Amino acid sequence: MRRVRYESTGGPLFLEEAPVPEPGPGELLVRCEAVGVTLPIVRKVTEAAEPIALGGEIAGEVVAVGEGVTRFRTGDRVTGLCFGHGYADFAVLLEAMATPVPDEATAVDAVALVRGGLVALGALAAARPEPGESVLVTAAASGAGHLAVQLARARGASRVVGAVSDPAKAEFVRSLGADDCVRYGDDSWGEPVDIVLDAVGGDLLTPAVAALAPHGRLVAYSSGGGTVRAYDLLVGAKSVIGFQMRLIAQGRPELYEQWRKELWRLFAEGALKPAVHAEFTLEDAAKAHEAIETRANLGKVVLRP
């Protein structure tokens, strides 16, 4: 089979031949039809001290199952987060991380919707929104961000604002249902909001906290790090909440499943529409990473093995 690999930090991605893996206990072997490219993986390629396996969201057909698998069988269509080599023709997926793909959805729909949607929905739920509260979403044109904008609207937010790096993305963000769109470098992000969902981190945390109304909550779900000054929280009785999807998937599987069902319900009703920026072949994986690195994407970036 073919898979994408690299040999040194920041090094070029290249295609190589590799043996088809075998599923171990509790694992599925999936023939990959679509692979989602994520910012955390792109960052690790350029920042991690040692090369990593290029994993991420995959979707496709189960072709073999390991010992102890009970929820799936060969021929099932699944999607989930692969922690090994996912940029490949075949990939191994933990049964615990796999979810079925309904007949009316494509593999591309699945990788554009499920993982990013679960993160977006989980981050929104972590803020414990009240009916009629306002929400601002950073990285609003990203794979998870563009779903967060739609989910905030679907869950009853009175006002939804998107924040982006480039004003050229504003039209796309408004087409998702946002009432307004602001740029990171603006002096003000407009009227304060009750909730900020932040997928950027770093230096953006300061203006994100400043955008909160008194008693507002910022949910940080970025791998970008950053620091918040305690004084900036004290003066407005504001809060910062950390959110990580893996802790929910492993520690609260019933909630993970509840969110997954909500995503597919909203998708079936037409209330949640995942957008795909571009589809690339495995040979062009470097171009897919470039689209993420340069923040050029409007929606999800997908590899098609």
Confidence of residue 137 (pLDDT cuts 50, 70, 90): very high
pLDDT tens for each residue of 91-103 = 999 998 899 999 9
Percent of the chain past pLDDT 90, that is, above it, reads 87
Q: Looking at the predicted structure, is the pLDDT value of residue 247 above 90?
A: no
Would you state the pLDDT for residue 26?
A: 97
In order of start, what are the domains of the chain with their CATH numbers?
2-101+275-303 (3.90.180.10), 117-245 (3.40.50.720)
SS (H, E, C) the chain: CEEEECCCCCCCCEEEECCCCCCCCCEEEEEEEEEEECHHHHHHHHHCCCCCCCCEEEEEEEEEECCCCCCCCCCCEEEEEECCCCCECEEEEEHHHEEECCCCCCHHHHHHHHHHHHHHHHHHHHCCCCCCCEEEEECCCCCCHHHHHHHHHHCCCCEEEEEECCHHHHHHHHHCCCCEEEECCCCCCCCCEEEEEECCCHHHHHHHHHCEEEEEEEEECCCCCCCCCHHHHHCCCCEEEECCHHHHHHHCHHHHHHHHHHHHHHHHHCCCCCCEEEEECHHHHHHHHHHHHCCCCCCEEEECC
Percent of the chain past pLDDT 70, that is, above it, reads 100
Mean pLDDT of the chain: 95
Would you state the pLDDT for residue 165?
A: 93
pLDDT tens for each residue of 218-246 = 999 987 788 999 999 999 999 999 999 88
pLDDT tens for each residue of 181-220 = 999 999 899 999 999 999 999 999 999 999 999 999 999 9
pLDDT tens for each residue of 37-95 = 988 899 899 998 899 999 989 999 999 999 999 999 999 999 998 999 999 999 999 99
